[in-house]
Amino acid sequence: MKVVILAGGFGTRLSEYTDSIPKPMVPIGNKPIIEHIMEIYAHHGHKEFYIALGYKGEVIKKHFQNFKKDWKINLIDTGADTFTGGRLKRLEKYLSEDNFLLTYGDGLSNININELINFHEKIKKIVTISAVRPPARFGSLSLNGSDVTRFKEKTQLGESWINGGFFVINPKFFKFLKGDDTVLESSPLEKVTDLKEIKAFKHEGFWQCMDHKLDKDLLDKMIKDNKAPWIK
């Protein structure tokens, strides 16, 4: 199945790196995070990639110029200021025939991509979205007045679920994308929700986005300690 990676954002919260390179090129261990993401898909047999370029897209192009792996990589300029939905809309001509996979260029997981696809094909909706419970950033306290009755170290955020960023999408979704200023996570996903054309695939395993330097440091440490759950 074709894999789309949205790789055009500015990554302003990682400006110590993204002043000179795009966020998907920020290294985790000895390779950029986008390459780790592609390896997740390739491990499950999906090696045809459509990378939606924007901010400093030439850096990504240069990286993949002499790439040695047996992947088919299509690098498509989608505009420096285009929003997420607009980037996907610009790829419509490549994706109009069959279901496709979509993700962002800044998140890692040990999600089983083929189970995600099987779920999508079974429920027959326009969109399948991965739902994850991210790690909490702080330990939690239970209090009785000022007495601490229970302390629990950092864990997952209870019953809260968020968008994990791994999608399977039917081409019918393109009718909800209008132009470059379309935000994928706003009107388009809200509309398929209203139409009951979206289902969530719950992933209880590892998931981590790279929004801040602390996230990058955490992922780097996992690589260094040989404890990176997304690496097979």
Type of residue at 161: W
Looking at residue 139, what is its pLDDT? 55
Nearest Cα to Cα of residue 175 among 84, 51, 85: 85
Looking at residue 207, what is its pLDDT? 95
pTM equals: 0.90
Give me the helices (H) in the chain, please: 15-18, 33-43, 57-63, 84-90, 92-95, 113-123, 187-194, 213-224
The tens digit of pLDDT for each residue in 177-215 reads: 999 999 999 999 999 999 999 999 999 999 999 999 999
Looking at residue 145, what is its pLDDT? 63
More confident residue, 153 or 93: 93
Please state, for a pLDDT cut of 90, what percent of the chain lies above it.
80
The tens digit of pLDDT for each residue in 43-92 reads: 999 999 999 999 999 999 999 998 989 999 999 999 999 999 999 999 99
The tens digit of pLDDT for each residue in 124-176 reads: 999 999 999 877 665 555 556 645 555 555 555 555 788 999 999 999 999 99
Nearest Cα to Cα of residue 131 among 40, 41, 203: 203
Show the domains of the chain with their CATH numbers: 3-224 (3.90.550.10)
Using CA atoms, how far residue 225 sits from 25, 41, 64, 107, 177, in Å, is: 22, 23, 27, 19, 42
